[in-house]
Structure 1
Amino acid sequence: MAAKMFHELALELIDQGHDVTIITPHFEKCEPTLIEDRLDGVAVWRFLSGQIKDVPKVKRAINETLLSHRAWSAIQGKVDKDSFDGVVYYSPSIFFGSLVSKIKKRCQCKSYLVLRDFFPQWAIDSGLMKEGSLIERYFRFFESTSYRQANTIGVMSEKNLEIFNSNTESQYPTTILRNWANLSPHYLSDKEASLRERLGINEEVIYFYGGNIGHAQDMANLMRLTRAMKSFDDAHFLFVGQGDEVKLINDLMKEWDLTNCSYLPSVSQTEFKDILAQVDVGLFSLSAQHSAHNFPGKLLGYMVQSLPILGSVNKGNDLMDLVNANQAGLISVNGDDDVFFDNASKLQNDAELRKSIGASGYRLLEKEFAVGNIVHSIVEALSHPQ
């Protein structure tokens, strides 16, 4: 989802008259250390990295730690003082601080951190990491390095801003920067194969979850809903993506004998958009253990397609207030399984309600999350005199 968002950001920057270069890893050892190409008018520099997805945690940590070193080794010969007027970087990952520092120093420019994940805090909240441990201190070092390189840090909501400033004693320059999306819906071409044919289903209402399948999402929460919805013959749940809890959902499908759901591995952005154009409800979950208040980027994809949003979040998350108040979805607190099921049942039984909520979601997208407004905010921050 981050790749999709940054691609849309890059295209909007180009539309507004800027030149854009994306620096991102590639993982093909047989390819050159640096691959240069273009995608939709965007220059892309791909530097060779070790794998950071679907590998053991220690190996992933080592490879992520080396991201800045490997990136700079690959691109430094191409960067001079006139190469860049600003740097926009994204967290996660927390390991690009050193690279940003080197580019800023050589180009004498400012930087903007789009902060979308309070790691390692969420891992501590979820019990995956012990507070005060050596590994926590290790990650905290790189987290603070990343923050220190930013002239502006954009977090996604008011409560996230409060939490971040409280946790960091307001030592960093922060602002609210919503997630964003292009406002143009995707329409399925007649040549594309039907998703329903692929899944072997007909008139079922399809509840779709697409993106990272990991601890932060609490996939067991979605699987409990899937099990509860077995009472409806015409409800089907589709999970698409990669992550640490893929095994969990596949195991629960077998253990609970769930015939009302399917899993597919990650797909290309084009395929992802094709799927969004054919499903009925956009599904998401956030772990009840989170202290941060995330706005998952996948929700914007749902809004673009005027899909009603169905989800559950950690207690106090202002995302619930925003979406529910604007009638853009039905969001409950993670752990309130009965409410989650009731909300799903409402959408299951009422096609007009699904249509109405989906339309409200698109209006909320226009109001709060248009990529053009986001680009204006970022460029203004980068252009402000130091």
Structure 2
Amino acid sequence: MDILCLFITYPNKPDNHTMFKNLTKRLSDKGHNVNVVTIQERKYGESTKLNNENGVNVLRVKTGNFFDTNLIEKGLTMLSLGHLFKRAVKKYFSEIDFDLIIHSCPPITYNPLIKYIKKKYNSKSYLILRDIFPDNAKDLGVIDNIFIYKFFKRMERNLYKYSDYIGCMSQGNIKYVLEHNPEVDEKKMHILRNWSNYKEKLSVDQNSIRKDYGYTKDDFIAVFGGNMGKAQGLDFILNIAKKIESKRIKFLLIGRGTQKERLKKRAIDGILKILDYVPKEQYEKLVTACDVGIVSLVNKYSIPNIPSKTVDFFKLGLPIIACIDESTDYGHILENEAKAGLFSIHGEEIDFINNLMEVANNENLRNKMSINARQYYEEYLTTEKATKTILKEIK
């Protein structure tokens, strides 16, 4: 098949393996002609360019700035993507009769290009739904103007209209979309979980790694890795750390984000440590040397969120202690489907502490959850599984 992929991010470094890069490489390996359109932000001073990257044709279209900029510029850039991408595709890919369009959300502004390709080539369109916009922005107060919300809501409905298949992260996502967009055909909807390339379970010298980072073999380490923004609500974890009486329980937060510097001022010597970005290979070794992963989401969402960091934790065989919002079915997946962790509602300190202590004090439970986490990853969360799901749906 001739496939056109539309992604807001597609790193050009060969060793930066994102979900979407893994997917396009796997599709290419299966013999498909894969063509990616992504952004080339103005701040880098590069013009629009088409290159072959690891067997995939990648068209980097010059746009305004989207990341690490103010909301006005980000919004204007997002609104321009559909038309800029359409013009670039007509120029660089005019001789390709596309059979399939694969696009991810966010953003929701590819509609002009999707409509054009579908009409010209009778192509099928597959939406990888990873965030339900604009509802998520409304939940967090980013969009508080009813007219702006309705404007983007109309775009969202058109996106669903132009999509022949919609891959959602969970049954909760499917239910939410159908309840809030009754015009969407339920037959379009199916589950497409997050994924990463298959990797054998790491075997590390746990004691040596712990020693390098100031921990002992007897410490119970709960680790958070990823973005430290407002949506993660990590002040809650710091509040928990202050109230834990057991001296062997330690908290480790790794990553970047808008809240990191403020959180570092609240770090607790000997109990809670915050590290900056750690290279991927070293990060995985460090996480493997920990006992449990932390997933944290503020209880402000009306949409069901499925944290992507679950894939990395499960790949490394790490159980999860989650504090999440009331709207998501993530807790059900964690406890009942994967049987690889425990959850509570974000802000409920006693429930979180009870879950943490249950896992910390029960090595047999911890080991069982670790085995379950790895098994769930191997069965459901690999790139090969995601690729097969997409190809099966479009047949």
Is TM more than 0.5 here?
yes
SS in 2 for 1:20: strand
2:383 is aligned to: 371
2:64 to 31, 50, 55: 50
The offset of 1:303, in angstroms, is 0.9
Alignment check: 8 A CA contact 1:82 1:107 kept = no
Unaligned 5+ segments in structure 1 are none
- Does the C-alpha gap of structure 1 residues 348 and 83 become closer, same or farther in structure 2, counting only changes over 3 Å? farther
1:301 aligns with 312
Pair 1:211 & 2:211 matched: no
- The alignment covers a number of residue pairs equal to 374
Equivalent in the alignment of 2:123: 109
* Counterpart secondary structure, 1:361: helix
**What CA deviation, in whole Å up to 9, does each residue of 1:245-304 have, x standing for no partner?**
x33x43244246565444455566556545544443222122212122222121011111
What pairs up with 1:80-229 in 2 under 5 angstroms? Answer: 80=94, 82-130=96-144, 133-172=146-185, 173-185=188-200, 187=202, 199-203=213-217, 204-229=219-244
Letter in 2 for 1:364: Y
Measured in 1, the distance between the counterparts of 2:133 and 2:38 equals 20
> In the alignment, is the contact (CA less than 8 A) between 1:286 and 1:334 conserved in 2?
yes
Deviation at 1:238, TM superposition (A): 1.7
* Larger relative contact order, structure 1 or 2 (CA cutoff 8 Å, min sep 6): 1
Q: Distance in 2 between matches of 1:26 and 1:376?
A: 30
Query: Structure 1's 377 and 354: CA in aligned 2 closer, same or farther, altered over 3 A?
Result: same
2:122 counterpart letter in structure 1 = Q
The one-letter code sitting in structure 2 at the alignment partner of 1:84 is F
Conservation of the 8 A alpha-carbon contact between 1:186 and 1:274:
no
Amino acid at match of 1:133: I
- Aligned equivalents of 2:241 and 2:78: distance in 1? 34
Alpha-carbon distance between aligned partners in 2 of 1:129 and 1:304, rounded to the nearest angstrom: 35
State whether residues 157 and 181 of structure 2, in contact with CA within 8 Å, keep that contact through their aligned partners in structure 1: no
**1:69 and 1:345 mapped to 2: Cα distance?**
53
1:81-128 per-residue CA deviation (whole Å, 9 max, x = no partner) reads 535321111112222233333333444311110112112212323344
Aligned Cα root-mean-square deviation (Å):
3.1
Structure 2 alignment gaps of length 5 or more: 1-7, 11-17
- Percent of pairs identical after alignment? 26
Residue 3 of structure 2 corresponds to which residue in structure 1?
none
1:29 equivalent in alignment to 2:44: yes
User: Residue 313 and residue 70 in structure 1: after superposition, are their counterparts in 2 closer, same or farther (change >3 A)?
Assistant: same
- The equivalent position to 2:256 in structure 1, one of 221, 225, 241, is 241
319-328 vs 169-178, which deviates more? 169-178
DSSP 3-state at the match of 2:237: helix
Distance 1:96 1:140 in 2: 14
- C-alpha separation between the residues in 2 aligned to 1:69 and 1:365? 38
Q: Is the 8 A contact 2:140 2:300 kept in 1?
A: yes
SS state of the match for residue 66, structure 1? helix
Q: 1:197 to 1:42 in 2, by over 3 A?
A: farther
TM-score (norm 2): 0.82
**Contact map agreement 1:110 1:150 (CA 8 A) in 2:** yes
Whether contact under 8 Å (2:168, 2:174) holds in the other structure is yes
Partner of 1:14: 28
C-alpha distance in 2, partners of 1:167/1:221?
A: 31
Structure 2 residue 89 is matched with structure 1 residue 63: no
1:210-267, Cα deviation, whole Å (9 max, x unpaired)? 333333333333333344347534513123133xxx33x4324424656544445556
Residues 216 and 106 of structure 1, relative CA distance in 2, 3 Å threshold? farther
Q: Is the 8 A contact 1:208 1:282 kept in 2?
A: yes
**TM-score normalised by the chain length of structure 1:** 0.83
Contact 2:267 2:274 in 1 (8 A): no
